Structure 1
């Protein structure tokens, strides 16, 4: 199967590009400055995607970052094979699909630590110092819980049945599902049942 593929990168002046007036993705001033730092550190490696009329399909944040840096031209890729309906759909898909991926937090923390040792400005990577500290603290807490020995053996000399009651507001089922999913991924559990068992063990301890 052969798919349409953009092949050429062009350089265009910033004023030649037209932002999409129905772009649903918002860029804060803070994020634009972070994008600008990334471009300054690594180069303009992700061209702006445009249609045949030089309207922006993807890259509104990169355009604003280029303005912030005072650039005169930016690299663009022309997607003139898209119909109007496909163009509008792709604008949403380009923003949405990246949000659906997840981080491997242990690998991320290891990479961040290596970059910190190399004295790289992590603002150019997109994380603030507070966010990195929160990530490290979360992983340290998870590792401490994993290393803590858990015994389910009963003491026959002082046998006692303990019961635990968990109450959840049914209106918060989405929040509960998200909490269980986060715990399951963090502790590499296989099911909701194992996740609840993990919670019970924590309460028992």
Structure 2
């Protein structure tokens, strides 16, 4: 399972090291005006923690992911008041593990509002860490235009990002260290995005085997 761990680390390195920037001011962990800078040392610590978790996950071997058709069945017919225009799914494998994905696309007639819902089953492998790096680190950032933070959605670890000017944003939820449900929206309020997760029914996602 060393390859699984290596793949995860590669996926994570870009995410975390980009977030910390890499200049000397950030290495000293000096905060920006919004107080949210991440130092290089903190990113390295997070990478190590993720690598350890990926290795722990790999000890029992990958879990067989559910048929992507079951994930598709959980895509709602409407999201944030927008009709579903397309639903797709697939299952991909690499290095002894599989990932099942279902995607729903929702939009109004003129395309000014849209939502994309993704339900992913990473099978509890180290690949999960590359798909949800935010589940290990803590983020809390706010600007004049919007915010980005890790939080909780019910009992689940979640990540939110929103731009007030463009009304673009996303919310992602990690379920049972295996499933990731993400809703991304353009031209809609964050409250509408959050409501789409209720339409997906996260408890049904958690019950999948």
User: TM-score band (shorter)?
Assistant: under 0.3
Query: Under a length normalisation based on structure 2, what TM-score does the superposition of the two structures give?
Result: 0.21
In terms of fraction of residues, the more strand-rich structure is: 2
Query: Under a length normalisation based on structure 1, what TM-score does the superposition of the two structures give?
Result: 0.22
In terms of fraction of residues, the more helix-rich structure is: 1
